[in-house]
Amino acid sequence: MHNAEKINETLGRSPPECCAAEGYWSAIDTTEVPYFGARWVGPLLPTKKCYVHRYVVAAAIDGPRKIPLSIRPISMFNSHAGAVEAVLRDIERLGFEVEGVYKDCGFFSVEVTEVLIRRNIPFAIAAKKTAGIRRVLEGLSGDGAHVVPYVVSASDGRRQIRVDLVVYRPRGKRIVVVCRSMSLGEALGYWRRWDVETCNRMVMARRARTCSRGVTLRWLLLLVSAVIYLLYVYLFCAALRPRRATRVFLKRSVCSSSSGRLIGGRP
């Protein structure tokens, strides 16, 4: 929690300097940071075979750049909807206007869409292939883009939201996104969200990691690693240092006459 607050303070100073416009399309995603300590906060991921700290990260999409704007621990909130609400408030405090949002399938829920609809923000969310969406996909043919009206229902079945289901095949891969208040061209630009995980990793890459859960052993391994690295840098710099040229001084016995002729001089 404390680290996230420090990062947000730094991010709050940097975006005004590197962002030229006031309105941006944003990408909101989750990122997992492996944790190997004796105690942990967060779920166990079988794919990574370790416990993780999970964060929600919001980034501005500026062409090929993904500029981080906010990072919050998921454990602060009771749901993904609360996390989305928090990072949107962070973006507004920075003075930016969110023109639209791209999200991963982890945010595919009625609660998240209600937050964006209440704020009148267009969005495109990767759809989870539920039984209802599979039935829609079975009735589609061809490789072109398809726009199909669809209804997203809450788990209790009491709330329903009407959205558009956009299905297309870039590079032979079928992509299904749920959209609201968004043109077809903007929905097809969902690929702009890709690579946002790169900025997430860069935000958290400053942490040292080891495979041990013992705190004492982790510090010892980190110290040994630092000593080895510094020794390598020293030896590498010493190898590049130019050697001093050996100077040879030749002595001469030079005698000068009034006519300027050398007398008895030997090399």
Q: Are strands 23-35 and 44-45 parallel, antiparallel or unpaired?
A: unpaired
What percentage of the chain carries pLDDT values higher than 90?
Answer: 12
pTM of the predicted model, to two decimals?
0.67
Q: Determine contact, residues 145/197, Cβ cutoff 8 Å.
A: no
Residue type, 115: V
Summary mean pLDDT of the chain: 76
Compute how many other C-beta atoms are within 10 angstroms of the C-beta atom of residue 106.
15
pLDDT of residue 1: 53
Question: Mind listing the pLDDT tens digit for each residue in 18-59?
Answer: 565 667 888 898 887 766 655 555 555 555 566 677 888 888
pLDDT of residue 82: 92
Q: Determine contact, residues 90/8, Cβ cutoff 8 Å.
A: yes
Residue 139 in this model has a pLDDT that exceeds 70: yes
Token digits of residue 2: 């404390």
DSSP annotation of 46 reads T
- Confidence at 179, pLDDT banded by 50, 70, 90: very high
To 10 degrees, what angle do helices 110-118 and 80-93 make? 30
Domains by residue range for the chain, with CATH: 2-215 (3.90.350.10)
The label of the residue with tokens 């829920």 reads 109
